[in-house]
Amino acid sequence: MTTIRDVAKLASVSVATVSRVLNNSGYVNELTRERVNKVINELNYQPNSIARSLYKKETKTVGFIVPDISNPFFPALIRAAEDYLNEQGFTIILCNSDEDVEKEERYLSMMKQKYVDGVLIISDYLTAEQVKEAPMPILALDRTVDDDVPTVLVDNYQGGRTATKHLMEMGCERIAHIRGPEHIENANDRYDGYLNIVRDTDWFDDSYVAQGGYQLNQAKEAATKLLTENPSIDGIFASNDLMALGALKAAERLNFNVPHDVKIIGFDGIEWTKATTPELSTMSQPLYEIGKKAASLLVEIIQGNKIDQKKFIFPLTLEKRKSTER
């Protein structure tokens, strides 16, 4: 590896001068600059960013902690963040937490040691103190870590309401809900939105709600049970798209025609929803925008700029597709 010393020697200047032309800082004679640049090119010299980071205490790196990159919901978010961060000269360290607090803590501590400049996190588990103790700015997306942590997400409650209302408008009279994990707040919010619409109907009771754990197979079982035990169900609002697909599979196997016998709507708007037959209606999140906004806010904070709010709420779009047609 060639170092700044090599360049300095060959250009017959001091390392300070080389550093100046490297960083475009301070005064340096035009001719000297040219000479130095020539040597830099000749030697194909690239500054060692580790050394630079040690001095400057900044690494141009941000961490991104996601539950599980194999879950099709997350890649779009990551991709968007990476695109923006890369433009800004940052690099992403990716970590899968598996929704496990301990892993999150380990990753956070590792990031602290590696001096990342900031971290993006999708988590429901970290405590307010953990976030406050962290030496670098943290920004949450998709889920709320703590009210004090800047967060980018959608209005899950309204989304739950809209989805449920849509089913009603399409003629459903008995609407079941397959909910997500109880420890995930956005699942609770979507559930509350559903409740808000159905609570006061004459048919509603607890038996219309099942736990699907945000998982395809669990939702499939849940839907099978729901439809078997209560064949009058003619609408299902699943709290995410994976579970909507599970419901679709269940209906198929039970020979319920979708959308004729039972209509299904999901939540998130992942690409899969266009792959199914019938295509799935869904409350679509602007995933790319969310990821990008999160990244850009984080960069702002890293650069020391104050941001004017804590919560950034993006609009949901009701995608009406075949699975909820009349």
Taking CB under 7 A as the rule, does residue 277 contact DNA?
no
Non-local (6+) Cβ contacts of 96 within 8 A are: 66, 67, 68, 69, 103
Separation between Cα atoms, residue 121 and residue 299, nearest integer Å: 14
Non-local (6+) Cβ contacts of 44 within 8 A are: 2
Identify the helix (H) or strand (E) that includes residue 177: strand 175-179
Using CB under 8 A, which residues numbered 227 to 286 contact a second copy? Answer: 245, 252, 271-272, 275-277
Q: Which does 66 bind (CB under 5 to 8 A by kind): a second copy, DNA, none?
A: none
The residue (of 32 and 196) whose beta carbon lies closer to DNA is 32
Which SS3 state, helix, strand or coil, does residue 296 take?
helix
Token output for 194? 């559903």
**Eight-class DSSP state of 85:** H
* DSSP letters spanning 219-284: HHHHHHHHHHH-TT--EEEESSHHHHHHHHHHHHHTT--TTTT-EEEEEE--GGGGTSSSPPEEEE
The span of 17-25, 70-78, 150-158, 166-174 binding DNA (CB under 7 A) equals 17-25
Report how many residues bind a second copy under the rule CB under 8 A: 42
Q: Smallest distance from the beta carbon of 300 to a second copy, in angstroms?
A: 22
User: Pick from 34, 38, 48, 274: which binds DNA (CB under 7 A)?
Assistant: 48
User: Pick from 31, 135, 202, 326: which binds DNA (CB under 7 A)?
Assistant: 31
Q: Smallest distance from the beta carbon of 195 to a second copy, in angstroms?
A: 29
**Eight-class DSSP state of 316:** P
The residue (of 116 and 295) whose beta carbon lies closer to DNA is 116
Q: Which does 4 bind (CB under 5 to 8 A by kind): a second copy, DNA, none?
A: DNA
Using CB under 8 A, which residues numbered 32 to 51 contact a second copy? Answer: 46-51
Binding site for a second copy (CB under 8 A): 1, 46-51, 53-54, 59, 61, 68-70, 72, 75-76, 78-79, 82-83, 86, 91-96, 109-110, 112-115, 135, 245, 252, 271-272, 275-277
